A and B are shown apart, each in its own frame.
Chain A
Amino acid sequence: MRHSRILPLPLLMLLILLQLGSACARADIAIIVHPQNPLTELSESDLKKIFLGRLPLFPKTGQEIHPLDLPEEHATFTDFYRRLLQLDGTKLRRYRAYYLFSGRGRLPATTDTVTEMISKVAEDPAAIGYVDATNVTAQVKTLLVLRTTTGTAQAAPTPPSKPPGEATPAP
């Protein structure tokens, strides 16, 4: 409270601009996994369960899942949890405090940047992460795209005939 009052005006304006910028830049969110992950699709309800900590193993393959988060301040973090779980900062943090300290499991590991998110997903066959769809590279495979504008999810356009291991380009 007190801090925001003494925030210098230029910084405040910058924050407002960033805020506006992030609102304008709202884009689709790609759910990414390691290229060798044998899954070709993931339902939105399973994705919800993964990031709520209710599903610790990949469906069908039974492989342990290592979910990854962007930093809380990142616009894609906010968009992702709002879009997927309708959870804002306070509610999400309260849920996570409850989840963690009631011994239900672990929270997603945090990555500092989109680049780090992509490289961690590219290194770990058990990882799952999310990035702005325009940031997806050939190092990772997209399983699902969350459309933030229309509010519907679409399966990633991965042709099943594709040889395993080949990365899917961003849609």
Chain B
Amino acid sequence: MLKRNHLFTKGKQLLLCLLLSASAQAADDWSFSGFASLGAGRVEDDGVLFMDYASDEWSFESDSVVGLHARGNLAERLSLTMQVVARGYNWDDTDDFEPELDWLFLSYQLAPEWRLRVGRMRTPHYLYSETVDVGYSYVWVRPPVDVYAPILAPFSNFDGLDITWLTDWNDTSIDMQLLAGHMQRSRDTLEIEVEPVVGGNISLQKDEITLRYSLTFDRSDIELGSYQPAEDAYRSFGPVDPVFDELADALSAENAWYRYQALGGRWEHGDFALIGEVFDIQNLDEGYDNPATGWYLSLQYKLGRFTPYAVAGQFENNFNSDTVDEILGSFNALSVGTIPEMDRLRARNLALVRELSYEQETWTLGLRVELLSNLSLKGEWQRFKFEDQTTGQLLQTSHDVPGSTSVTTFTLDLVF
């Protein structure tokens, strides 16, 4: 792994040198552009944080972002694209405003309809996955959080290759993309390595309607460092009853295959647009299990320079849903009171399952205003409703949690 990363770093250096020398030679063949957003947000209730937004004051970092983009022609049909993005808030362990390489690839046009790319690319899970940071490119303050969920943030880039095929059939535009690669990220205490990721998507567009389906499989190796002692403790009771091995397996997320599916649609009729997406993530192996589903439906209507919009959505994450039954079953094998440490472990495990299984519903009302030809202002009010004393995608910061809360955000979005 380390060796590959080293190679990739070398590759980056090489490409950067290539970029710099090429840009010095032929400035005409290079184009530079960028985007930036300045955001301000606040959560209504105490006890929860959304990104870094809290209830006590407006904060200006979480939706603020700046990105620089360069693209150059190296030869006929061959180009290099690079995009560096610094975000005020990252869902993984990247520091605030630390520049990250989101795109760095060589693209070769094999034929009018076929294109091959090699390098680092954004993982195209959903309709707007590739431009999540480019606020100017969509109507919302940020793509609906029920689908563009933080759970996927560590998987937003991959290093590998893809091939796209763009064609027409009976007045329908067809885009197909196949990809393969690997990725590595860390989040909180989790070290996540994905090898391989393979997938594809197909997008059909006819007149006012676009439909998109995406299917991705990956083998993720997630090191849940903080669960290791619990896993070992269960494992040591494996000889007593197999149920303890199952409980241990459920805490080990090594080399598990996941399937990601997403279906999206967009209907644009004059000044009106209806956009919706639904996704499903399933673990395909036994043991550790963390399936998630979510959807949103968004309606917008353009009135001159004003575009009001409304979004409804829902998100559900179920961590190790079989564990509750297994723990209850384990009481037959080892009854309460026999070994106090094991009783405490099982109680903590039940609490963990409840804590990591959560459900939320959201309602969003917002307005986008075009200020200049490359500058827009957005304001959005988002209502979160939680189930079962959980806090959905918001971070719980105190013992008492609100059953619902709202987040108000304003952004200025610029492209240049």
Contacts and interface: CB of A to CB of B under 8 A. Distances in A.
Interface of A: 1, 45, 49, 54-59, 62, 64, 72, 89-90, 93-94, 97-98, 100-103, 105-107, 109
Interface of B: 31, 33, 35, 67, 69, 71, 76-77, 79, 81, 83, 103, 105, 107, 109, 111-112, 115, 117, 121-122, 128, 130-131, 133-134, 136-138, 166, 168, 173, 302, 305, 370-371, 373-374, 415
Contacts of A100: 33, 69
User: Which label, helix, strand, loop or mixed, suits the secondary structure of the B interface?
Assistant: strand
Contacts of B71: 105-106
Contact of A103 (B31, B122, B166, B168): B122
A89 B373 CA distance: 8
Contact of B131 (A57, A90, A98, A107): A98
Given A102-B122, A103-B103, A93 B131 contact: no
Contacts of B111: 57, 62
B136 A94 contact: yes
Contacts of A59: 112
Nearest to A101: B134
A72 B374 CA distance: 11
Contacts of A58: 112
Contact of B77 (A64, A72, A93, A106): A64
Nearest to A53: B166
A57 B373 CA distance: 30
A57 B79 CA distance: 13
Given A102-B122, A106-B31, 20 more contacts: A49-B168, A56-B109, A56-B115, A57-B111, A57-B112, A72-B373, A89-B373, A90-B305, A93-B373, A93-B415, A97-B137, A98-B138, A101-B67, A102-B131, A103-B81, A103-B103, A103-B105, A105-B107, A106-B79, A107-B31
Nearest to B119: A103
Contacts of A102: 122, 130-131
A97 B136 contact: yes
Contacts of B69: 100-101
30 contacts: A1-B371, A54-B166, A55-B112, A56-B77, A56-B109, A56-B112, A57-B77, A57-B109, A58-B112, A62-B112, A64-B77, A90-B302, A90-B370, A93-B373, A97-B131, A97-B137, A97-B415, A98-B128, A100-B33, A100-B69, A101-B67, A102-B122, A103-B81, A103-B103, A103-B105, A103-B117, A105-B79, A106-B31, A106-B79, A107-B31
A97 B122 contact: no
A130 B305 CA distance: 28
B78 to A, nearest CB: 10
B31 A45 contact: no
List 9 A-B pairs, minimum CB-CB distance, nearest first: A102-B130, A97-B137, A98-B137, A57-B112, A101-B134, A97-B136, A97-B415, A103-B103, A102-B131
B121 A103 contact: yes
Nearest to B110: A57
Contacts of A1: 371
A11 to B, nearest CB: 17
